[in-house]
Amino acid sequence: MCGLLAYLSTDAERVDETRVDGVRHALHCLHHRGPDDTAVWSDGHTVLGFNRLSIIDVDGSPQPLPYAADRYRILFNGEIYNYLELREELRALGAEFATEGDTEAIVAGFHHWGPDVVTRLRGMFAFVIWDTATGTAFGARDPFGIKPLFTARLADGGVVLSSEKKALLELLGGSAGAGGVDPASLQQYLTLQYVPEPATMHRGIRRIESGTRFTVVGGELTTERYFHPVFAPRPVPAGGEQELYDRIAAALDESVAKHMRADVTVGSFLSSGIDSTAIAALAHRYNPDLMTFTVGFERESTSEVDIAAQSAAELGVAHVPVVITAEQFAAAIPEVVWYLDDPVADPALVPLYFVAREARKHVKVVLSGEGADELFGGYTIYREPISLAWAQRVPGVGKKVMAALSGRLPEGMRGKDLLRRASIPLEERYYGNARNFSGAELAAVLRGHDAAVSHVQVTEHLYRQTRAAGYDDVTAMQYVDLFTWLRGDILVKADKMTMANSLELRVPFLDTEVFDLARTLPLDQRVPRGSDATKYALRRAMEQIVPPAILHRRKLGFPVPTAEFLAGPLHEWAHQVIADSGTDEWLDRGRVAAMLTSLRTAEVPSKRVARQLWEVLVFMIWHGIFVEERIVVDVPETVYPVKL
């Protein structure tokens, strides 16, 4: 895990010392991603900057790394878990290596295999290779979007790429230089809880999408998707269900084994559910001294701490709990938002930041369970197409009646949302796990609300692909989540909150070999009918690995009591955020304040209103940092040791 920053000029442009100094200055914004080493290299057309977090070949593999008599220079953020196997393949082709690391395997692979090298990489990555002989650049992001990569064009025509957006804002001269707030991105954010790829909250900055490779030639950046996730459900193998479960267990065990490759200490996050517990149990096989980490709040009903401690005891692993207060939670939010680059309204970001901070005192790498739900069918919402199967038999006029009846029922009444969702097709009702503002609610809060901007613009082409592939509704939801919720929320918070603490996070479920097996699972091995189970095959596969008490436990996932916080100990904090915010151009602050008041006066604070309010508060803080520059975040210098 590292931070890269590349400036690629047009043919007519030449790099001068001012540009080199500008890149060096902006690179400091990424210091938390790589506190072990900083280097800047330039020639007549490019400036390459790098902050390194040393994980493999700790004393070697400096970047920007040269290859082939300095023909190439590579910047690489991530890890390639099959790098040892790739190096052997490449040696057979005559490749020579000057290091022991995975970075050189990528650039050597590009030299021998060309752009198709990306299809051979098993890992998480965002990289840029500069070819001095042709004056062109080539790069890519990993299939699922685990590692980020932002891009923009400077006034001089140069293309810049960076692991974090804030470095590009430095080069562009701030928010105004980046084109200001994008109204469509703001509206999508308030709908989805994040800004969907490839957009960002600024008009002039974009993201290279997951599973995409790119070239920069003559100052022109072009992209091409190389990874197309395809679900192909198959019948249970001839050997029966147990053979299938054994295959899943073996694939995940092999993935964890490769994800344990490091020259530093590897630990694991541990929450209450099967995903992180399975990863920790498998990792313990390869590291008997494995340390696990969890976080919770000072309230018993939602705390993960006790449950995770029990799991750790059953697994026989060392365990470090972190307990935080509401006051600590609020105090950390500006810093958390600064690290995020763009607002993401997932309250679980904050406890994740705290547990990563504690973990970094003990280890330099952690494993985590992200991706299991999307691959194996773990979200409760995936059961909805089964529970609403009856609605498929209702004629069009009947669905209109259900919609009308839903509209007449009071908010919060049981059955209201069921009738509404049963009356509309999947493409309209499902756009990910966050569905906070309705169109009418959003129009009441957001100034300049545009009815033409909706989640349909994000998901329409994805559903078109699922229909062409003949996917059932559950599989279609999983496919949509791979491109929306997973890479927009789950992986952003995982990367940004761990990197904020110079901690590398690895996700063994999001491995191409694991996906190749998960994508073949029949529907009843994901969300079987006649049961409340999810991730059915995964749970069965883990029966010999995960303690029985954990196997069917409902996942909490670092939960945050947002409604209780905003109605109680964080009420005055939230009131001050609203009062100080300079977002009148975008938001009706009076309505926002009324939402906050409603939480305080309600007998039971509305979780839905709290989620909506949280989205707005996060945007207000983001706006105060990156647009108004009113909020100045005191980001601590990274002081972790080079080797751990």
Count of alpha carbons within 13 angstroms of residue 43, beta-carbon side = 16
SS3 content of the chain, % helix, strand, coil (to 5): 45, 15, 40
Other C-beta atoms lying within 10 Å of the C-beta of residue 641: 8
Round to whole Å and give the CA distance between 552 and 547. 10
Whether 526 and 520 have beta carbons less than 8 Å apart is answered as no
Dihedral of CA atoms 51, 57, 60, 66 in degrees, nearest 10, equals -70
What does the pLDDT read at residue 428? 87
The pLDDT value given to residue 550: 80
Overall average pLDDT of the 225-248 stretch:
96
| pLDDT value at residue 642 | 47
Q: Find the domain containing 589 and state its range.
A: 562-626
Q: State how far the Cα of 535 lies from the Cα of 273, in Å rounded to an integer.
A: 12
**Confidence check: pLDDT of 229 > 90:** yes
Both structure tokens of 153: 């064009």
Cα 69 from Cα 139, distance rounded (Å): 20
- The strand pair at 123-131 and 318-324 is best described as unpaired
Does one domain contain both 178 and 31? yes
Q: Could you tell me if 198 and 261 lie in one domain?
A: no
pLDDT at 70 over 80: yes
Asked if 265 and 178 sit in the same domain, the reply is: no
Residues 281 and 176 in one domain: no
Which of 1, 7, 76 minimizes the C-alpha distance to 41? 7
Identity of residue 558: F
**pLDDT > 90: what percent of the chain?**
80
Predicted confidence (pLDDT) at residue 45 exceeds the cutoff of 60: yes
Q: Which of 514, 530, 551 is the last residue of a domain?
A: 551
Distance CA(105)–CA(606), nearest Å, equals 52
> Which pLDDT does position 640 carry in this prediction?
64
Does the pLDDT of residue 301 top 90, yes or no? no
**Which DSSP string do the residues of 588-603 spell out, in sequence order?**
-HHHHHHHHHHHHHSS
**548 falls in which pLDDT band (50, 70, 90)?**
confident
If asked whether residues 148 and 15 sit together in one domain, one would say yes
Number of domains in the chain: 3
**What would the 3-class secondary structure string for 207-275 be?**
ECCCCEEEEEECCEEEEEECCCCCCCCCCCCCCCHHHHHHHHHHHHHHHHHHHCCCCCCEEEECCCCHH
Confidence of residue 22 (pLDDT cuts 50, 70, 90): very high
* Structure token pair of residue 229: 């996730």
Q: What is the pLDDT of residues 381-438, one digit of tens each?
A: 999 998 888 877 788 787 787 778 887 888 767 778 778 887 888 998 898 877 788 8
Calculate ∠ Cα 431-437-440, nearest 5°.
Answer: 115
Q: Which residue has the higher pLDDT, 455 or 253?
A: 253
Q: Answer for the pair 76, 2: CB distance below 8 angstroms, yes or no.
A: yes
The helix-helix angle for 103-113 and 83-92 (nearest 10°) equals 40
| CATH of residue 312 | 3.40.50.620
* pLDDT tens sequence across 280-298: 999 999 999 999 999 988 7
The answer to the question of residue 417 being in a domain is: no
Is the residue at 557 inside a domain?
no
Backbone angles phi, psi at 391, to 5 degrees: -70, -20
Q: Which of 304-318, 414-428, 481-495, 603-617 has the lowest mean pLDDT?
A: 414-428
Q: Is residue 413 a part of any domain in this protein?
A: no
Cα distances (Å, whole numbers) of residue 563 to 181, 442, 597: 28, 19, 12
- Compute the distance between CA of residue 384 and CA of residue 381 in angstroms, rounded to an integer: 5
Mean per-residue pLDDT over the chain, rounded: 93
Least confident interval from 125-134, 258-267, 470-479, 541-550 = 541-550
Please, what sign has the CA dihedral across residues 561, 562, 567, 571? positive
Has residue 126 got a pLDDT over 50? yes
33 lies in the same domain as 93: yes
Q: Predicted confidence band at 370 (pLDDT cuts at 50, 70, 90)?
A: very high
Over range 499-517, report the average pLDDT: 97
Q: Is 29 annotated in the active site?
A: no
pLDDT exceeds cutoff 70 at 303: no
User: Parallel, antiparallel, or unpaired: how do β-strands 150-153 and 205-207 relate?
Assistant: antiparallel
Domain identity same for 62 and 171: yes
Question: For position 556, what pLDDT does the model report?
Answer: 58
Q: Is 556 part of a structural domain of the chain?
A: no
What is the rounded (10 degree) CA torsion for 558, 556, 277, 382?
A: -120
Same domain, 29 and 120: yes
* 317-348 per-position pLDDT tens digit: 999 999 999 999 999 999 999 999 999 999 99
Whose CA is closest to 367, among 280, 492, 490, 265?
280
For 54, phi and psi rounded to 5 degrees?
-80, 120
Are residue 16 and residue 142 in the same domain, yes or no?
yes
Over 90: is that where the pLDDT of 549 sits?
no
pLDDT over 80 (residue 624): yes
Helix 17-27 crosses helix 165-172 at what angle (to 10 degrees)? 140
- Helix boundaries (H) for 130-209: 165-172, 183-192
- Same domain? 608 vs 508: no
Q: pLDDT value at position 391?
A: 76
* Residue 331 placed within a domain: yes
- Distance of alpha carbon 47 from alpha carbon 26, whole angstroms: 12
Q: How confident is the model at residue 355 (pLDDT cuts 50, 70, 90)?
A: very high
Q: For residues 280 and 260, is the Cβ–Cβ distance under 8 A?
A: no
- In-domain check, residue 320: yes
CATH of the domain at 100: 3.60.20.10
Q: Which of 44-53, 169-178, 397-406 has the lowest mean pLDDT?
A: 397-406
Same domain, 543 and 570: no
Tokens (6 digits) for 82? 């099959």
Strands 2-8 and 159-162: antiparallel
Alpha-carbon span 64 to 54, nearest angstrom: 13
Q: Which of 492, 519, 551 is the last residue of a domain?
A: 551
Residues of 305-330 as b/e, b for ≥16 C-beta within 10 angstroms?
A: bebbbebbeebebebbbbebebeebb
pLDDT: which is higher, 223 or 404 = 223
Give the domain-ending residue among 520, 551, 582. Answer: 551
Question: For residue 418, is it within any domain?
Answer: no
DSSP H helices in 341-455: 349-359, 372-376, 384-387, 396-408, 416-422, 426-429, 439-445
Q: Is the pLDDT of residue 75 over 60?
A: yes
pLDDT of residue 620: 98
Where in 31-89 does DSSP place strands (E)? 37-42, 46-52, 65-67, 72-80
Q: Which amino acid is at 344?
A: V
Q: Is 228's pLDDT higher than 70?
A: yes
Q: DSSP assignment, residue 302?
A: G
Say what percent of the chain tops pLDDT 70: 97
- Return the SS3 of 614: helix
End-to-end CA distance of the chain: 14
Task: For residue 644, count CB atoms less than 10 angstroms from its CB and return exposed for 0-12, middle for 13-18, buried for 19 or more.
Answer: middle
My answer on whether 497 and 587 are in the same domain is no
Q: What's residue 415's pLDDT?
A: 73
State yes or no: pLDDT of 557 exceeds 60.
Answer: no
Residue 429, judged by CB atoms within 10 A of its CB (0-12, 13-18, 19+), counts as: middle
Q: Is residue 262, in this structure, part of any structural domain at all?
A: yes
